[in-house]
Amino acid sequence: MSTTESLHIVCPHCHTTNRIASANLSAAPDCGKCHRPLFTGHPVALDEAAFEKHIARSQVPVLVDFWAPWCGPCRMMAPAFEQAAQQLEPGMRLAKVNTEEAQALAARFNIRSIPTLALFMNGREVARQPGAMGAADIVRWARSQRV
């Protein structure tokens, strides 16, 4: 891997695609459009339109938590997913999809139970894990996938 290699990183605030040199990924890069940090240490909440942009354009894997506000295990897992974001960024983007609001996405990806974690790379799903997990297990599972 050369130091001039660059990656497409989708901004969690304005959803613009940025081109960032791989070597600068961990140097807290800002978005060229909105000038806010491209990585915040927090999962980004995605509606359907933003989901499409991140999944299609992100050149780092996107780990998505499909959840719903009425789901107790989902709410229990939320702090763990927050902690996992701090450990997995900037090598991955962590995102949350509220299946109550984005029902078409839940149907398209055939989400049968929540919470469900799904890992996307280059526009397609490469791994899926239903059920609530602690932060350490989320990190271990995400890193064990070949992406």
Catalytic residues: 71, 74
Give min distance, CB of 32 to Zn ion, in A. 8
> Considering the rule CB under 5 A, would residue 13 count as an interface residue with Zn ion?
yes
Q: Which of 9, 10, 25, 31 binds Zn ion (CB under 5 A)?
A: 31
- H, E, C per residue of 5-68: CEEEEECCCCCCEEEEEHHHCCCCCECCCCCCECCCCCCEECCHHHHHHHHHHCCCCEEEEEEC
Q: Which of 7, 34, 68, 78 binds Zn ion (CB under 5 A)?
A: 34
> Considering the rule CB under 5 A, would residue 147 count as an interface residue with Zn ion?
no
Distance CA 64, CA 93 (A): 8
Write out the residues near Zn ion by the rule CB under 5 A. Answer: 11, 13-14, 16, 31, 33-34
